[in-house]
Amino acid sequence: MALTDDDNGTAGFQVTNVTPGQTGQKCIVVTASSALPGVVKAYVQNLSPSAQGLEDHITLKIEQGTGGSFANCAGFVVDPAVVVQPAASLSTLATVNRDYGTGGSAWTTTGNTAGESKTYRGTWTFDAAGLTQLQIDALQGASTSIDLVWELQNSN
């Protein structure tokens, strides 16, 4: 049983000098190779919070579909059968989607040793809604990070 992706160990997002309302996206193809069927889930780990609380104002939405790749999201199509959770702050995700049991974007594999794949598109936004200019200014120089994890489990 193996789970691989096409990011070659590269960070999905590295953004500097972000401004309020700025957004970006990145795709990743996750491939499950297993003789047994199973369920793949996505969750987050290793939140690195900032003293200023930037992680409370960076939101992330994960969509599942087909097409696109880590190099380019062109051709990505959202799977209409998959419920997309609304964007949530990194700090919220670190609390509510922190392990396989609380993971989302579930994908049931059929069991294929040659591999079966899904593409995920992550969209981040610097959400400054409700912040004063002084509060926005206080976030200057802040940094935060979080790891996205995909895990495959089968019932055997």
pLDDT of residue 108: 93
Dihedrals φ, ψ of 59, to 5°?
-100, 155
pLDDT of residue 31: 96
Q: Tens of pLDDT along 23-69? A: 999 999 999 999 999 999 999 999 999 999 999 999 999 999 999 99
Q: Which residue has the higher pLDDT, 74 or 82?
A: 74
Q: Tens of pLDDT along 90-107? A: 999 999 999 999 998 899
Q: Tens of pLDDT along 127-149? A: 999 999 999 999 999 999 999 99
Asked whether 156 and 38 are in contact (CB, 8 A), the reply is no
